[in-house]
Every structure is written in C-alpha cells, then in structure tokens.
Structure 1
Amino acid sequence: MNTRLLLIGCGKMGSAMLEGWLAKGLNADNVYIVEQAEAADKLSTRYGIHGVTDVREVPQDFIPQVVLFAVKPQILPEVIENYKPLVRAETVFLSVAAGKTITFFTSHLGEATRIVRAMPNTPAAVSRGMTVMYPTDNVSQAQRDMCETLLATVGLVSWVDDETLMDAVTALSGSGPAYIFHLVEAMAQAGEAAGLPSEQAMLLARQTVVGAGFLLDASDETAATLRENVTSPGGTTAAALNVLMDQTNGLPELMTRAVEAARKRSVELAG
C-alpha cells in the first residue's frame, strides 16, 4: 500500500486506523501526521511515520493522495483553512469528523475540493467498526477505492448516494454502540431485580451480548432466524420476547423513537 497520506489528528480511532494500515503494508515513509508536539514525537518514534505540529512543516514536494481529518468536530473549524493550499485534483479529503457536512468543507476549501464524508463508529478502535461514506461527484472511482481500502482496515464499509442519509447512519450505526452498551446495563439491572448479585448479573449480561454478537458475525443466518432458533414455543425465551416485541410499547417502537431522536439531533447539529 503506497498511498501518500496526511493524517490530521491521531487519537484513539486515528491510531487504530494507522496501526491497521501499517499492518497491511502501508509505507510509513508516506505518512505525515499533524498532532501536538508531544504526540507527534511519540507517533514518529512508535510507528516510524513523520510527525509534525503544523501542516506547513510538511515538505512542499509531498503531495498527499488522501488528507484525512480525524480531529474532533469542534476543532475542525479552527484548522481547516490551513489545508486549502492542498486542494488539487489528485488529492481527496476524507473526513471522519461527526456532523461536518460537504457544505462545511466546500465553504472553507472551495467547490473544487474532492471530499468523502465518512461516519465510523467506536468499534473501529478494535477493527470491528462500521463506516458509511458519501462522496462528492468529482471524487474519482480510484479515489473512492482508496478511501474504502483505508477504512476497511478497521471494519466494514458501505456507501450512500444521498448525503441526507448520513443523519440516519449517524443515528443507527454511529450512535448504535451506545445503545448496545445500555442494553447490557439494562439486562444486568433486570438480573439484579431477579435476585442475582450485581457483579454476577453484569458478567452474565456482558458476556451474553458479546457472545451473541460473535455468533451473529460467524453465522450465515439472519438475526431473525437466530432468534427463532433459541425460542421454544411456550418457553422462557418466548415469554420474554412477548414483552420485548410488543408493537405498542416494546423494543421495536422504543428503538424507532430513539433512532429518530438521534437523527433529528444530527440534523440540528449539522446546522
């Protein structure tokens, strides 16, 4: 992998991506990272890449194929215009900053900028993420492939052809890990209410969700089929699912409301 990469910010997710790229053969000499001084030094020492504190320290003859924004969304407006001199046809700007729209980038970098907006989620930190991407019309197929290859190192990748769908993506897969974590909390609380000690209830809830996830991942069956496989008519699982699957106040209705609330908030935050 000989992609020339400029990575802006290298926190937990950025580091996970970087480790994945290097493990798959990305040439460390082709990577520049813009970070604070201490972090830049540590990254240079640890990975053998070039760490700088300002984009102006990047050599003029280094033309990145991908400029990847991995900084926090609230920081991006303060630094983005520093990268305007890098806008050219051979460079695609890939952003994993939540809530930052194509309009945000074109307003700061210009209409000619080739941009891919991406929404990963936190399991990307352990290479089990789900990333959805949306490109501007001027992004070439080769640039799409390059972005997909980079983000496929930390999980699965999907594309949408309508940017407004990124709000739904944010609400489902972007925020989704938090829903699963809360499910573990709720299951543990229910276990306590049923008489289990708190630590044991949490152990059972946590491992049940982790194990079910692995089973789903390893199986060719749908989630519905796997559910049906462990549900005996008139049994304990069926009794619980009668409550959870109630169409009026069960999990489907609750989850629909939760995802819609997140989608609306995503729209609001995007301005």
Structure 2
Amino acid sequence: MTVKVVLAGCGNMGYAMLAGWLKSGRLQPAETFVIEPNEELRARAQKLGSAVGGDASDIPAGTTPKLVVLAVKPQVIRDVTAAYKNLGDGETTFVSVAAGTPIATFEEILGSKTPIIRVMPNTPAAIGKGMMVSCANGNVSTETSAFVEKLLAASGAVATVDDERQMDAVTAVSGSGPAYIFHFIECLTAAAEQAGLPKETAKLLAMQTVYGAASLAAESDEEPGTLRQQVTSPKGTTAAALAVLMGNDRLKTLVGEAVEAARRRSIELGK
C-alpha cells in the first residue's frame, strides 16, 4: 500500500487529525507517514499504526504522496516547508493548518505550480466536533479538493472560502472562537458560585448549559435569535439578564471588538 498522506507535525492538532482519518477509515495506517522530531509525539503516532520519521529525509525514496499536511506552528512553517521543496511544482498537494500563513508563502518556497490548500481548523477537531475552513489556489484539482474535504470531515464540519483574505476573519471567529466560549464558561461558572452554588454544581450547570444550547442551535431549524426569544418571557428572569447583556449592544460590541482584534493579529502574523 502506497503512502497517500505525509503528516509533518504530530502535536495536538496533527495528532487529532491523524486519529480522525484512521478512526473513520478514510485512510489506512499504511497510507500515512508521520514526520515528527519529538520522540514522544512520534511514538503516539506509531501506536496508531503510521510509519514515522524524525525529519523529511526519513520518507522512503521514490515516495510521491498525494498530500503533505503541514501541521506545525507559524513560527517554523517556512523551515519545515522548505524540507519538502523536492515535492513542489509536482503532483503532491500541500495542505497547511498554520494560522496566518498565506498561500503565497508556500508558492514562494515550493514553486508557483504547486497545488496548495490553506486550512483553518479549531481545537474541537480533537473530538470530531471541529470547524474546518479551507481555501485553495488554482493548481488544486477538483478530485484532490474532494479528497481533502473528505479527510477534513473526519474532524468536524467543513466550509470553503474563495477569497483568501477572508481566512483572517475565519481565524478570528472559528479558529480562536473556542477560547471565547471556554472563557464564557469560566465567567458563567464564577457567576454561579457568586450566586451561592457549590463549585462543582456551578461548573456542571455552566458547561452543560453552553453545550446544550449550542447543540439545540445546531440541530434546530430556528435562527439563534428566535431560540433566544423562545426562552425569554416578558418581564421574566431571562429578560432581566438580557437587559444587562444586550443593553446598549454591550455584548455584541464586546464580541465584535474581540473578533476584530483577532482578525488584525492574523493579518500581522501573515506578513
């Protein structure tokens, strides 16, 4: 069985993606080769059945993978990508999950004819509940796009954007978004404790409420605004709370400012 996918980097995101591919049956272990310099991280990939190596030179000679997935930090993406330059301008498609790194950077390193797909995942991909957004250059074939979408779907929902400039907004909303939700859970837990609930009860109520509300919003045919209205009785407890959150567009303004700050930072990282 030939290697279809080389995964460069097996940290939290890389490992989550690999585990999803194999668990779903979208790839067989023998179709994967993992490059990871860290021995401990390399060992866990090997436990999944993947062949492994410490650097790109360990890939068997003559191997032409369908994909090279670059799952490394933006700070090292240039050096890591350069190690695969011999596969540039060819049949191999490069898929990057490095935040803020534009397609032009990979074309500069690998060659302008290289098929490149830029992906922004998020951490819920680790449990198959992620949001995966991709953007491709004009060299990527329809067949390869479908193959990549199939792999990404093992980690959650998949969307595409045609204008790469929108990836900065994607990063700010779904890439960084889980942290916003985690902080909201922290705040709701703290508020519950302040209201007199025991710590563990407060934590359970906060987490399950966010989880349940998000699940209902995802599964319902109603818009989130309509679901909000359905919970809100006139002059009731929910209305009293929403008067604080929604008064003067307080929460809407704060979230907008947060997303804009993340979007600007994404642009800076891409320079």
TM-score class, shorter: over 0.9
**Counterpart Cα distance in 2 of 1:2 and 1:154:** 23
> Secondary structure of 2:75's match?
coil
Residue identity in the other structure for 1:266: S
* Residue 262 of structure 2: aligned partner: 262
- Displacement of 1:189 in angstroms is 2.4
1:236 has 2:213 as partner = no
Amino acid of the structure 2 residue aligned with 1:156: A
* Aligned amino acid, residue 20 of structure 1: G
Instruction: Name the counterpart of 1:106.
Output: 107
Tell me how far 1:43 sits from its aligned partner: 2.2
Which stretch has the larger CA shift, 4-13 or 194-203? 194-203
Q: Would you say 1:43 and 2:45 are equivalent positions?
A: yes
**Alignment check: 8 A CA contact 1:2 1:27 kept:** no
The aligned amino acid for 1:51 is V
Q: Could you report, residue by residue, the CA deviation over 1:148-179 in whole angstroms, capped at 9, with x for unpaired residues?
A: 11111000110111111111111111110111
Q: Output the amino acid matched with 1:6.
A: V
Question: Match of 1:57?
Answer: 58
Aligned to 1:64, the other structure's residue is in SS state coil
| SS of 1:250 mapped into structure 2 | helix
Distance in 1, matches of 2:20 and 2:201, equals 35
Q: CA deviation at 1:231?
A: 1.1
Normalized against structure 1, the TM-score is what? 0.93
Return closer, same or farther for 1:124/1:37 CA change in 2, 3 Å cut-off. Answer: closer
Pairwise CA RMSD: 1.8
Deviation per residue, 1:186-208 (Å, 9 max, x gap):
21222233333444323321221
Unaligned runs of 5+ in 1: none
1:86 and 2:67 correspond: no
Shift of 1:242: 1.9
Task: Quote the offset at 1:51 in angstroms.
Answer: 0.5
Percent of residue pairs identical: 50
Q: Distance in 1 between matches of 2:265 and 2:38?
A: 35
1:32 aligns with 33
Residue in structure 2 matched with residue 10 of structure 1 by the alignment: 10
* Alignment partners' CA distance in 1, 2:199 and 2:170: 34
Measured against aligned partners, the alpha-carbon deviations of 1:215-252 in whole angstroms (never above 9, x if no partner) come to: 22332322122212211111111111122122x35211
Cα separation, 2, equivalents of 1:95 and 1:79: 11
TM-score, L = length of structure 2: 0.93
Q: Unaligned 5+ residue runs, structure 2?
A: none
